[in-house]
Amino acid sequence: EPEVTQTPSHQVTQMGQEVILRCVPISNHLYFYWYRQILGQKVEFLVSFYNNEISEKSEIFDDQFSVERPDGSNFTLKIRSTKLEDSAMYFCASWQGTYGYTFGSGTRLTVV
């Protein structure tokens, strides 16, 4: 069964550093998403991406966040200057038009 692949599975970074979280969506999917989940809290929508541009973003997705699909396969989330409160699980998802989203297994980001 096709999978959404996320790397790394765990990243530890110093506060103020830039991080890039990587995702390889399912190849024939057209819509891509990033979600995050702070420990013990709900899964929160960050951004959706279609046709090489952001289609919707949440209030969380401020100027510190950016997404891109640099080579037609990878889908990345960049956090420019990480804060302690950015520590969370980050999930990438993709959707092809029929069923529900397919989520990756996540990247656990720890900001110290």
Partner 1 sequence: DAKTTQPPSMDCAEGRAANLPCNHSTISGNEYVYWYRQIHSQGPQYIIHGLKNNETNEMASLIITEDRKSSTLILPHATLRDTAVYYCIVREEGGGFKTIFGAGTRLFVKA
Which residue ranges make up the site for partner 1 (CB under 8 A)?
4, 30-31, 33, 35, 37, 42-45, 48, 50, 55-56, 58, 89, 91, 93, 95, 97, 99-106, 108
- Partner residues linked to 65 by β-bridges: 79
Q: How far is the CB of 68 from partner 1 (least distance, A)?
A: 18
Q: What is the secondary structure of 36-84 as a DSSP string? A: EE-TTS-EEEEEEEETTEEEEE-TT--TTEEEE-TTSS-EEEEESS--G
* Choice between 33 and 79, CB closer to partner 1: 33
Q: How far is the CB of 79 from partner 1 (least distance, A)?
A: 19
- Residues 15 and 101: their CA atoms lie apart, in Å, by 32
* Choice between 76 and 103, CB closer to partner 1: 103
